[in-house]
Amino acid sequence: HSQYIQELLGDKDINIKDLETEIFDNGDIFFDATIISSGKVLANDYLAPHKNSKMKKDSDGNLVADELCDPIPLRFIKVAPNITFRFDFELSDGIISKETKSKLFQSILEDLGLGAKTNVGYGKFEGFKKEQTPQEIEQQKF
């Protein structure tokens, strides 16, 4: 997604490989995402694939697979809607500032999502708000 990142950063000349090396190999730290919602976190979801074992006649009288026959619902677990996660990073300035990196990560999570099945709506995040660390709160007192 090099062009996407260059567009987000507003710099078509930025070297994405160098930025990737800086983020993943030079000290930026990605902590585990933490669920901060209370209540039911997991929910059931279903996928109903169909098997083509039954045949039917088409308009010309030919036997064809009946693709709408015999759905087999498969249950799987998903994260329930409206669950709030906290993402923590320890970022450093470099090719781009740590504030710009934070905004970049937020945009990636909002636009592309995280995890499997993002193309069908899973793993999408929205409604970000920045929370201050205790150190940031303490620095503002002076």
pLDDT tens-digit readout, 76-123: 999 998 899 999 999 999 999 999 999 999 999 989 988 888 888 888
Long-range CB pairs of 96-105 (<8 Å, 24+ gap) are: 96/9, 96/14, 96/19, 100/9, 101/23, 101/28, 102/130, 104/5, 104/8, 104/9
Q: Dump the DSSP string for 77-118.
A: EEEPTT--EE--EE---SSS-HHHHHHHHHHHHHHT-SSTTG
Q: Which range among 6-15, 16-25, 46-55, 133-142 shows the weakest confidence by mean pLDDT?
A: 133-142
Whole-prediction pTM value?
0.70
